[in-house]
Amino acid sequence: MPKVVIVGAGPTGATLALLLAQRGIPVTLIEAARDFQRQFRGEGLMPSGLDALHQMGLDSLLETIPHRPLSAWEFWLSDRLLFRADEPMGAARPCTLVSQPPLLAALVQTAQAKPGFEWLGGTAAKDLLWRDDRVVGVMLADGRTLEADLVIGADGRASAIRQRGALTLETQPKSIDVLWFKLPAPSGYETDNRFCTVVKGGRVFSLFHGAEAGQMHLAWAIAPEEPTEHKNWATTFAALVPPELADHFRSVGEAISAPMRLSVLVGRCDRWHRPGLLLLGDAAHPMSPVRAQGINLALRDVIVAANHLVPLLTSASGVAPAALDQALSRIQAEREPEIIQAQRLQAHEAGRGELLRRFAPLRQGLGLAKPILGPVVERVWTQQQQRLRQGITAVQLQV
């Protein structure tokens, strides 16, 4: 039977490896890191991502790991609550925060029970193997080589497989970076976990209770060239957060983590594949952090890839290289429209936030007109969120 090598054990690589292994396809999953702990991993599963996991039969697995539903989305302008939109906003399930490290560990552990699955953790893929202009495997950092009928690059936005495959990432102009903080969560967020976005004094940031118990996250938008050294973050935040949270930030100042700077990279490969090679997830289309689209779109990539690959890879007559390459092209063709639209919607929403940040009269006007405009803004915003929440195109697991 044809063999698949997947490089990268993030949500894309781990879920696809599990789906293939469950269907009897020999698959090797390679991950450079020795464990799944990272300083930062996206946690937000929109209804589209939750639906993807449901289609994969992973609801019960999700229940075994730390997760926390969002209760609402709040938007504050200069100490005024503009509106609050309660979850699930018309969906079957609310947006849910999921701790990625235990999720990935559980996916790999489940796959390891399948006879055709091989796990290579703490092992980096150094290069691709080529034969007659076709990718036929990978070379590992320790000098070993693994041959494969198909190599899948799921190694994230800095994908080494993308570079080795000479697949070009066309990036969008960079407008922000994000500083990511963690701190003890206020007690009220345990039962009312709202995703709170604040625009005040020319700053834009968001805060919410993460998947792990007792931990709040704060994402602070900055210009790429903006210095961040020697700030008294507790005092800075206390002056900007909604009034109900100011005392909490002052009291936990010593417990606020040092910020981790996330360089925001958004783009899309014009071509996701070479003969014998396919890119998926952030390797093919890194997303903006707006509305946590990265993990959700990656899971939908996996479903579409499985639909096209499984029938070929399980065929009793074997798979012809030409047929496999045609399937890779069809995967990109099916997924690309949603990716393009999602990136446009993210850019549109980020642009609105930038307008509010830059123009104080606009913030003041919206705040003063809240009794009239608040419900209208909430209705328009909620309607505009549906495609980013529910998915833009139909994705259904068929294999």
Instruction: List the pLDDT tens digit at each of the 399 positions of the chain.
Output: 789 999 999 999 999 999 999 999 999 999 999 888 765 567 899 999 999 999 999 999 999 999 999 999 999 988 889 999 999 999 999 999 999 999 999 999 999 999 999 999 999 999 999 999 999 999 999 999 999 999 999 999 999 999 999 999 999 987 788 999 999 999 888 889 999 999 998 899 999 999 988 999 999 998 877 877 767 899 999 999 999 999 999 999 999 998 888 888 999 999 999 999 999 999 999 999 888 899 999 999 999 999 999 999 999 888 999 999 999 999 999 999 999 999 999 999 888 888 888 888 888 888 778 888 889 989 999 999 999 999 999 999 999
Q: What's the token pair of residue 363?
A: 């913030």
199 three-state secondary structure: strand
Contact 68, 211 (CB under 8 A): yes
Contact 242, 115 (CB under 8 A): no
293 three-state secondary structure: helix
Contact 75, 82 (CB under 8 A): yes
Model pLDDT, residue 231 = 74
148 three-state secondary structure: coil
Q: What's the token pair of residue 187?
A: 């007690």
Model pLDDT, residue 125 = 96
Q: How far is CA 374 from CA 83, 104, 362, in A?
A: 6, 40, 14
* Residue-by-residue DSSP string for 112-149: HTSTTEEEEET--EEEEEEETTEEEEEEETTS-EEE-S
pTM: 0.94
Side chain identity, residue 281: G
CB burial string 257-281: b at 16+ within 10 A, e below: eebeeeebbbbbbeebbbbbbbbbb
Q: What's the token pair of residue 59?
A: 């609801």
Runs of H (alpha helix) within the chain: 11-22, 47-55, 59-62, 100-112, 160-164, 233-238, 243-251, 293-313, 321-358, 360-368, 370-390
Helices and strands counted in the chain (H then E) = 11, 21
* Residue 158 DSSP class: T
Model pLDDT, residue 84 = 95
Model pLDDT, residue 173 = 85
Contact 42, 264 (CB under 8 A): no
Model pLDDT, residue 39 = 55
359 three-state secondary structure: coil
* Residue 253 DSSP class: G
Phi first, then psi: give them for residue 140, nearest 5 degrees.
-90, 160
Phi first, then psi: give them for residue 397, nearest 5 degrees.
-70, 125
